[in-house]
Structure 1
Amino acid sequence: MSNVEDLFEHLWQDYTERLCPSAIKVQKLLSQKSDKLMNDHIALRTFSGAKLGLNQLAKHFQALGYEQAGEYHFEVKKLYAHHYQHPDPNYPKVFISELCLPKCSDELNQIVESLVHDLPQQYTDNQAFLYQGRPWRITKEQYQTLAQESEYAAWVAAHGFGANHFTVSVNHLAGFMDVKQVNDFLVWHNFEMNQSGGDVKGSEEVGLQQSSTLADKVPVEFSDGELFIPGGFYEFAKRFAVEDSGELYQGFVTASADKIFESTNM
């Protein structure tokens, strides 16, 4: 069994090579101001169900000491999520969401079932599935049909498994006071930021500010050709002290996370 560092190194390699190559450039730019970038959290996506549901992803983090710390519902997007934390606060949090298939159309369910039907029940037993991409074949038409109902479904169907984003902790970022300064710095360097819900989501009052780049457009091979589609993005988060305890807020804000999901919109 690997340790936490090994798992995140595999996830980072997959993320920067396959889903968000621009993250390397962002990292180099920010590293000019700050020696070491701290990763606040990563996020993973999946479909609900016994075979691939979020618990099947979470078990590999729990085996390394992570514990569930939060539960989230996104009614409009038909998503359900947990976040997980490690007792060692230097390890990133993990946010895992799933598309609630019973709430989706018959057509969407039929496509997803055709994709995952031949996967063995034990597919998720090997930790490596978390960063090995798509284990099924899919056509461009299937992808586009899914996208009409759920951008999230289309993303998972096209990319499979991997971190859709890593997150720079602005609290540990030298040279920047807040998320807005990070955004302005990246815009100056020609990065396009997610403007859904404003370029900064959240506030000190709710304990968390977040922003993100728009997802890279990356080439994906379908069974009938190639398309350039949204891949991964880079997020930035600043956490604020909770009034009662004085410790930094460790959770996520549903209203803000809802808008962060839209970083991969087509």
Structure 2
Amino acid sequence: MAGHSHAANIRHRKAAVDKKRSKIFSKIARRIIVEARLGDPDPETNAALRLIVETARAANMPKDVIQRNIDKGAGVGADAVSYEDVVYEGYAQGGVAVMVEGLTDNRNRTSPEIKKLFERAGGNLGQPGCVGYLFESKAVFLVKGEGKSEDEVMEAVLDLGAEDMEAVDDGYMITAAPSDFVAIKAGLEERGFELELAEVQKLAQNTIEITDEAQARKVLKLIEALEDHDDVQNVSTNHSLSDELAAKLGA
């Protein structure tokens, strides 16, 4: 069930990227600015910056937009906004664990706004550390399966040192250690795989299956509201839905 949940959540993540591409671009741009400001503005020597640049490329962000945000972070131009990392942990309806990772230029504005989103969806914001131990960071790749057999994908997974592979819809989800993100992304592209999604995410180690439609709607409402917030970078949960319920809700 954990694998099913991860695949469903990855599909949801890709759908969110496709639906809100301009907002996704602004979120990625924010992270590029931060990483370029904190370290070397050269992605070749700044591993954190290179990771987010590769994520931007996978999301089809134009090269000139990527460079413009690197320049902003490096102090080239007039942008003087300073962002800080924030992490919020809490529970959605029915005790579903939720982790929210963000970047903000005003923590005092963002915190109450996130708290209100939890409450509106029947959840509650918890204390730091209340659910973090339930998740682990993973490099996640969603590759198109067209023209590729499962054996070819498995061979690539083994050759590149990825950890796991799962068939999802018309493609495959591959997971790996975050430290292997850049190398595996490059390896997949060299082998001719088309990436629909490539990023580092928090994945739940175990999941809670939701069978009640009303509860599921509340959880999905919270996820959507959080993902729509400008200061939120990533939303992770430990819920799963039955195939029937997922199909009914379009999740």
Q: What is the TM-score normalised by the length of structure 1? A: 0.28
TM-score w.r.t. the length of structure 2 is: 0.29
Task: Name the structure where helix makes up a greater proportion of residues.
Answer: 2
